[in-house]
Amino acid sequence: MSIPSIYRRAPRGRPLIGFQLEAPGEVELRDGPVLKCREVRQDGRIVGELEASVFAAALIIDRDGILEEKAREVIGGEAPVRGGATAVAVRLPGATGFRADAIRSTQLPYVYVFAVAAPDLGVDGGVLITIRSASPDWPAADHMLRSLRILTRHGTAPVTDELDAEPLLPVVVPTRK
């Protein structure tokens, strides 16, 4: 097993928000406008992918529902949901926001979208995370979500330790036919 990598995207420009996460050693990181994380098995099959990027939005305690809307919009583009996508509120150790999920018929059928921000009263953007995985649970993604920290112009946003040790994934449970 390889040593975990800490990735840090400092706040700069607009939005003045960034993020930091720790990727397990088996996860390959590719930087760009969107951070792309991918785990591939020895046989070449993809275990999962995680993409993280920042987006601009005036978030004053998210009164306008921007995070919920963003999660629903992105999951709708990944896997159109009949009747529209739903998003539920989530709390991660380093962020709060909304999560939407779906199952589609592809190599990576389980899709989770998190639109999160710092739990501050006012920030000018959020972090969008899209996870695609071969199975409902992907331990590397769970690790990266738990290690996520939102970076603001004032430093690292407060972290909550109130969450239990239960895995954050799976949140989509496949239906039995």
| CATH number of the domain located at residue range(s) 5-155 in this protein | 3.40.1000.10
Q: So where are the chain's domains?
A: 5-155
Q: pLDDT, tens digit, for every residue of 6-57?
A: 999 988 877 788 999 999 999 999 999 999 999 999 999 999 999 999 988 7
The three-point CA angle 10-11-12 to 5° equals: 110
Residue 88 identity: V
Can you tell me whether residue 76 is helix, strand or coil? helix
Identify the DSSP state of 162: -
pTM: 0.85
Question: What's the CA gap between 10 and 163, in Å, rounded?
Answer: 26
Q: pLDDT, tens digit, for every residue of 146-160?
A: 899 988 877 666 566
